[in-house]
C-alpha cells in the first residue's frame, strides 16, 4: 500500500515515518525543502534487542535514553518473534543485541537461522550476545558462529551505561558493506 505523507519534516511525520516503514508501507513524502528531509535517517538505525526479561528491557531502554541515542529500539521477548520480524521487513538494523537463554528459539539457534538465511546474511547485521553469565564453552560456541561480540550484563547501572556506550560507539564508527559511512 502506498501512503502520501505531506509535511514529512514535521513533528508528527517524523514519528510516524519509522512506524509506517516498519510495517512495510511504501511512502511518498511531500516536503517544502528537500534539503531538510532524508529518508535514509529512517531505514538503518534500529537496535534490535532480544531479551525475555521485562526488567532488563526496561533498564536497557533507560540506558539508551540516558545516553541520548536516537536509534529506535525494537524489543523482542523471544528468538522466533525476532526472526519473523527480520525476515518480514526490509529493515537494515544497526545491530542485534541478543540474550542467549531465550524461550522458543535461543540466541545460538537464532544466530544460526540468521546466518543461514541468504537474505539476512547479506544485510551483515552485527550480532552480539548480551547475557547474564557465560562459561568457556558458550563463548567458544558463540565465536564459532561468527558473532561480533560477547558481553556479560554488568551488575551496576554505571557499568551498564559504560558497556552500552562502548558497544554503540564502536558500531557507529565501524564500516559495513550495507551502510557505508563517510
Is a pLDDT exceeding 60 seen at residue 44?
Answer: no
Number of domains in the chain: 2
Asked whether residue 57 falls in the same domain as residue 36, the answer is no
CA pair distance 134, 146, nearest whole angstrom? 17
> What is the structure's pLDDT at 69?
84
CA pair distance 109, 163, nearest whole angstrom? 25
Q: C-alpha cell of 71?
A: 536509534
Q: How confident is the model at residue 147 (pLDDT cuts 50, 70, 90)?
A: very high
pTM metric for this prediction:
0.74
On whether residue 143 sits in a domain, the answer given is: yes
Is a pLDDT exceeding 70 seen at residue 64?
Answer: yes
Asked whether residue 21 falls in the same domain as residue 98, the answer is no
Amino acid at each position: 500500500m502506498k501512503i502520501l505523507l505531506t509535511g514529512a519534516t514535521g513533528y508528527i511525520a517524523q514519528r510516524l515515518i519509522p512506524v509506517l516503514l516498519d510495517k512495510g508501507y511504501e511512502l511518498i513524502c511531500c516536503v517544502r525543502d528537500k534539503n531538510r528531509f532524508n529518508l535514509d535517517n529512517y531505514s538503518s538505525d534500529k537496535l534490535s534487542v532480544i531479551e525475555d526479561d521485562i526488567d532488563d528491557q526496561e533498564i536497557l531502554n533507560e540506558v539508551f535514553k540516558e545516553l541520548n541515542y536516537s536509534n529506535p529500539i525494537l524489543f523482542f521477548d523471544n528468538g522466533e518473534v525476532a526472526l519473523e520480524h527480520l525476515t518480514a521487513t526490509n529493515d537494515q538494523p544497526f545491530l542485534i543485541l541478543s540474550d542467549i537463554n531465550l524461550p522458543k528459539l535461543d540466541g545460538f539457534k537464532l544466530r544460526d537461522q540468521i546466518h543461514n538465511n541468504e537474505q539476512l546474511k547479506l544485510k551483515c547485521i552485527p550480532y552480539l550476545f548480551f547475557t547474564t553469565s557465560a562459561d568457556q564453552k558458550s563463548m567458544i560456541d558463540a565465536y564459532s558462529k561468527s558473532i561480533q561480540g560477547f558481553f556479560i550484563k554488568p551488575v551496576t547501572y554505571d557499568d551498564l551505561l559504560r558497556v552500552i556506550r562502548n558497544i554503540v560507539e564502536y558500531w557507529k564508527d565501524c564500516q559495513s558493506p550495507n551502510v557505508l559511512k563517510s
